[in-house]
Every structure is written in structure tokens, then in C-alpha cells.
Chains A and B, each alone.
Chain A
Amino acid sequence: MASVALRSVSKSFGHVPVITDVNLEIADGELVVFVGPSGCGKSTLLRLIAGLVPVGAGDVVIDGEVVTDIPASKRGIAFVFQSYALYPHMTIARNIGFALETLGLSRQQIDAKVTEVAATLKIDHLLSRRPRELSGGQRQRVAIGRALVRQPEVFLFDEPLSNLDSDLRMEMRMEIAKLHASLAATMIYVTHDQVEAMTLADRIVVLNKGRIEQIGTPQQLYHAPQNRFVAGFIGSPRMNFMAVSANASGADCSVQGPGNLSLDVTLSGPGLPTEIGIRPEALSIAIQGQGKVTGTLERLEDLGHEHLAYVRIAPDIAWSVRLPNALGKVATGTSVGLDWRFEDLFLFDRDGHRLDHSMSHERSAAANEVRA
């Protein structure tokens, strides 16, 4: 098992920078997930670690050893591709055991290892078939088996589940989590699916335009995003935002915005908020005239296990509200108030950095009273 580190890694394709100055330390046995919008460079970063793409600048370190100039095959890694990349003309058994054929093992040793791995992944009944005779989920298992059989130091997964339907994806997600727990191997996992990221990761790396926006546990990213990008990227439906104007005198700051928004906040550091953000699940609908913001209930969606409400606050601002229960007697088109707890409010400055704040004293006291 091994740790992985990236030191000031950059990469350009032609004149287009894809990865810019990435620094990252991944501990031995950790499962780290790279997430980001498409084109953010997450797959390229994985390929740089694998050695399938040479780095432009900086160093890749695996198990304390600089491997920047070492070929992929000598880095002690295994790579699971989105397309599975199985050899179409070989049987499943040979697909899994192919890498072992060059290691000087006997036929029996290879067969034994292949059988063992296939049994772990419950594909031992498919060994004599060919890839095209398998379903997507089975092919994914074969691809993982091919990685497992080599007993690598580091597993690299490039969107391994994105070609599967949602049921299978959930099943394979648990399978990979189980695998990680039993092998205690270092794993790096690229996905655009934040559910996969939140459920699998020890730590998540959020990438945007080739830069790391934030590194943290799923909880840190959700509860304490460092900036507007991470706040907007993690969470579904995404966080509601609103541009605001603010006046500060010392740490005390009053915030004004559309929908009769008027808040007093106490800033814990420098900077002035220009935008606020609140997650849909932190919002509640109050009767008209109450709450911190007013708007018009535009649409209600019943998803069975939850209800989504869309409230238009200004012509160009509509917030989504996630409610555990149906919104009984409120008809669409009526004016409603939206309320939230103060600690659920995020403030962002002009550059998108999140500003720490605490509740203003009076309201804090009031809130505590209510809760007690």
C-alpha cells in the first residue's frame, strides 16, 4: 500500500492549460474522490498520476518515490476505465489474468489467482465467456477484477460507474466501498456524480478549471464550503444564491436584497458580503408577512419521499425549497415567506470566498429561547 502526492503539478494540451499548480497529499489507504464539472481536468489529473499522460511541470510521488519519469507499468497502480477497456477477443478469464502472463507465473498459478478474484467479485460463472456476452455491470466487475489480480499499491478509477443504470450504480458503489474496506488500499476515484463522491470518499477534492477549489471530508464540503463554487457544486438541488448589498460598521453588517431581505450579521473577519446562499433543505416556508424573504410560490413537485417548492423572489431569482412533507393548503401563485436558521446562512464576498459570521446578539438570544 502506498501514499500518493502531487507537487505543483501542471499540464497543458498545446496552449490550453488543463491542470494548474495542483498540490495534493493522499494518505496510505485513503479513498479520495475527484469531482468537478465536465472539462475541469479531473480525468487528466488521474491520468497524470497513472502515467498515461506525462506531466508538464511538477512531480508525482507514489509511496515516497518520485515517479514522474517512471512508466505507468512500473508505478504499482491499476486503472479502471469508464469504458471498461476489456480485450474484446479474449475470454473473461484471460482478460483478468492477462497482466499475469508476463510475470513468469505458471498456468496453474494464474488460473488460481483468476478464480480467486472472480469468486470475490461473483463473476466466476462467466470466466469462459467473452466481454460482449456480458451486461454492463458484469463488465465493470471484470474490469475491477483485472485491477485486483495485480495487487496494486494504488487503484485509480475513472468514472467507473457512469455507464451503468442507477440500480446497478448503487450496487457497484457499495461493492467498491466494501472492496476499499477489505483491501485497505489507496484509491483515487473520479466522478461527476456527487452522490458517489459523498458516499464513497474519505476526502473529496473539488476541481474547477484545472485548479483545486477545496479538499475536505464530505461533511466539511457540505457544511463549510470555502467558496461559492464548492457551495454550489456540492448538494442537490443546488444551493440557492442571491446577490445582496451590505453596509458594515466594524464587525456589524446589515445586508439588504430582493424579496424584502434585511439581515443583521456579525462578521468574524474582513470582507463584505455581496452574495448570500442557503441550501434548499435549510429553508422552510412561512406564512405571508413572516420569514426573512418573501416571494411567490411558483410550483410544487411531489417526489414521494420529499417535496420541492419553487419560490420566485425576483424576476431573475427563483429559490428551490426542499420539504419533508406536503405543503397542504398553500396554492401556487400565493405570496409566501421563506425562513431559515441563522447558522444555515452562507455569505460570499466579491471573489466568491465564504465569509464567517455569527448571529447578531439579539436574534441569537431569541433563537436560543425558541429552541429551548
Chain B
Amino acid sequence: MKTRLERREHLSGLLFVAPLIAVLVLVAGWPLARTLYFSLTDAYLDDSANHVLVGFGNFVEVASDPVWWRAVRNTAIFTTISVAIETVLGLAIALLVHGAIPGRGLVRAAILVPWAMPVVVSTKIWEWMLNDQFGVVNRAIVGLGLADHGVAWVANGSLLLGVVIFIDVWMTTPFMVLLILAGLQILPEEIFEAAEVDGIPWWKRLWSITLPLLAPTIGVAVLFRVLDALRMFDLAYVLAGANVNAMTMSIYARDRLINNQELGVGSAASTMVFLLIAFVAIFIVGALRLDRSGAAER
């Protein structure tokens, strides 16, 4: 039996979260429901009121489209490689900046610059620097005698995904550095002093003390980055538009929805993106929980 006081507290708790729930329903629940609904219709964007229900036909169409699978593959490659590089690089820089180096405050501020720039701006900057004729990168390569003529970084389809990954690493490594640095700074210093007195060499300190204690922080950082990378749209779109070599799942959905005006098929693709990301999110969060309960050994 709940006491009256408990019921009252329960009620006031509900009252406090009610505004948030209302806003969430409005800005997330409603659009999601609409998308789900349209994914089951044959609607077109120019006249969305005029449609009939067609069941799961749109999903079948997306799943049998080789371009969709190309987009899924691109997104998977992009996510895996960019997040892996960002994590390793972010960890390394964080460890470096965490140490007492002169001008540390300035370094920390400077590291954040790429993260603070709008994606479109940094993408455009890189696009110009990588331009095959006028770009500074090719100029340097030719100038240093590394190649006779410049590389068509952005125009060459086989290089495109690599360039997207490179720019993303440049832009989001600071985010990783910041998160991991925050994690490093809350580790108790005396543990490391104890290891120092005990004569534990630096690599063993890193591997057996720092990394295990930092694992939850890194886990959360990776979760953030993976979810972000799976939704990748702006960078790849600004750089390559709907070029199939750098097409991500989000770009595919947009292409069907806006360019082809296929509201039904586009919604189906969007729903599939949503389900995929939700699945990955649940998987990673589950893995992190396991770790936190202390089940992980050594």
C-alpha cells in the first residue's frame, strides 16, 4: 500500500515531467508517427493528401534497391573507420594534454577550433584545399615532388569516402579529446602516485589502470559518436551531393523523398534508418551497462 505522502510525491513528479513529455510528443512523437504512417502509403510530396495504403511495399522496394545497400555499406564503413580513428586519436591527444605541458590552456582552446566551426564551413574549406587544380594540398604534393600532377581527391569516386572520413576525423576528434580529458581529470591522482611508487612502467599504467578506469567514459563517447556518424548527412552531402560513392543512408532517404518526391518510399527509408540506429543504440547502451555492473574482468 502506498501512503498518501507517496501518492502525492508521485503525482507532483508526474506534474514536473509533463511539460517535457508534451514537447517530446509534439516535436518527436508526432513527426515519427507521421513518417511511419506515410511509409505505408503511396503518397507523393507535391500532393501528400492524395494517397492510399499500400502495406509494406515501400519497404520491399527500398530493400531491393542496390543503391540503398550501397548507402548502408558506405555508412557502415564511414562509422566504423571514422569513430575508430577519432577514439584512438582523441585518447592520445587527451593523454598528452592531460600531462603538465607548458601552455596547456592554450593548446586545449586551440584543439577545440575545428569542433566549433559549422560543418558546412569546414567542409567547404577542405573541399577547396583538396581541389585538384587550385587546392593547397595538391600544390604541396606537387611542390614537394611527391607526384607529377595533383590527385583528384573529391572528383575521384574511389577516394570520396576516404575524404569524407578524413574531414570528419579532423572535425570531431576535438569532441573526443574533450570527453576523454574530462574523464581523465576525475580519476584520483593518488592511484597513479601509488603506481609510480610501485615502479609500474608507463605502458602498464596506461593499459592496466588508466584504460580500465577510463572505459566508461570512452564507452559513452563512442556511443555519442556512433549515433552521430550513423546519421551522417551534412558533410557528405555538401561535399558530394547524392554521389553514390559517398551516399549515406540519410542522403538516400533525402534523395528519394525530395529529389524523387516519393514521400512513401522516402518515409520507408527514413524509418529503416531510424530502426537501425535505435538497434545499434540499444546494443551499445546494453554493453555499457554490463561493464558498469562490474562483470568485466581485468
Contacts and interface: CB of A to CB of B under 8 A. Distances in A.
Interface of A: 50-52, 71-74, 77-79, 81, 83, 85-90, 94, 98-99, 101-102, 130, 146, 150
Nearest to A91: B298
22 contacts: A51-B197, A52-B193, A52-B196, A71-B196, A72-B193, A72-B196, A73-B197, A78-B198, A79-B193, A79-B194, A81-B190, A85-B188, A85-B193, A86-B191, A89-B213, A94-B298, A98-B198, A98-B200, A99-B198, A102-B199, A102-B201, A102-B204
A51 B196 CA distance: 10
Contact of B213 (A81, A83, A88): A88
A88 B191 CA distance: 9
A83 B187 CA distance: 13
B12 interface: no
B163 to A, nearest CB: 40
Given A81-B193, A83-B188, A102-B199, 18 more contacts: A50-B197, A52-B193, A52-B196, A52-B197, A72-B193, A73-B197, A73-B200, A83-B190, A85-B194, A86-B191, A87-B208, A88-B191, A89-B298, A90-B298, A94-B298, A101-B204, A102-B201, A146-B198
A71 to B, nearest CB: 8
A314 B63 CA distance: 96
Contacts of A94: 298
B294 interface: yes
B78 to A, nearest CB: 33
B212 interface: yes
A130 B298 CA distance: 11
Contact of A72 (B190, B197, B204): B197
B222 interface: no
Contacts of A74: 199
Dominant secondary structure of chain B at its interface with chain A = helix
Contacts of B208: 87, 90, 98
A83 B192 CA distance: 12
A104 to B, nearest CB: 12
B84 interface: no
A83 B195 CA distance: 14
A50 B195 CA distance: 13
B209 interface: yes
Contacts of A90: 208, 298
B40 to A, nearest CB: 49
Contacts of B200: 73, 98-99, 102
Can you list the 8 inter-chain pairs with the closest CB atoms, starting with the nearest?
A73-B199, A99-B198, A85-B190, A85-B194, A79-B197, A89-B212, A72-B197, A81-B190
Contact of B191 (A85, A101, A102, A130): A85
A308 to B, nearest CB: 39
A93 to B, nearest CB: 11
B153 to A, nearest CB: 44
A79 B196 CA distance: 10
Interface string B206-233: 0011001100000000000000000000
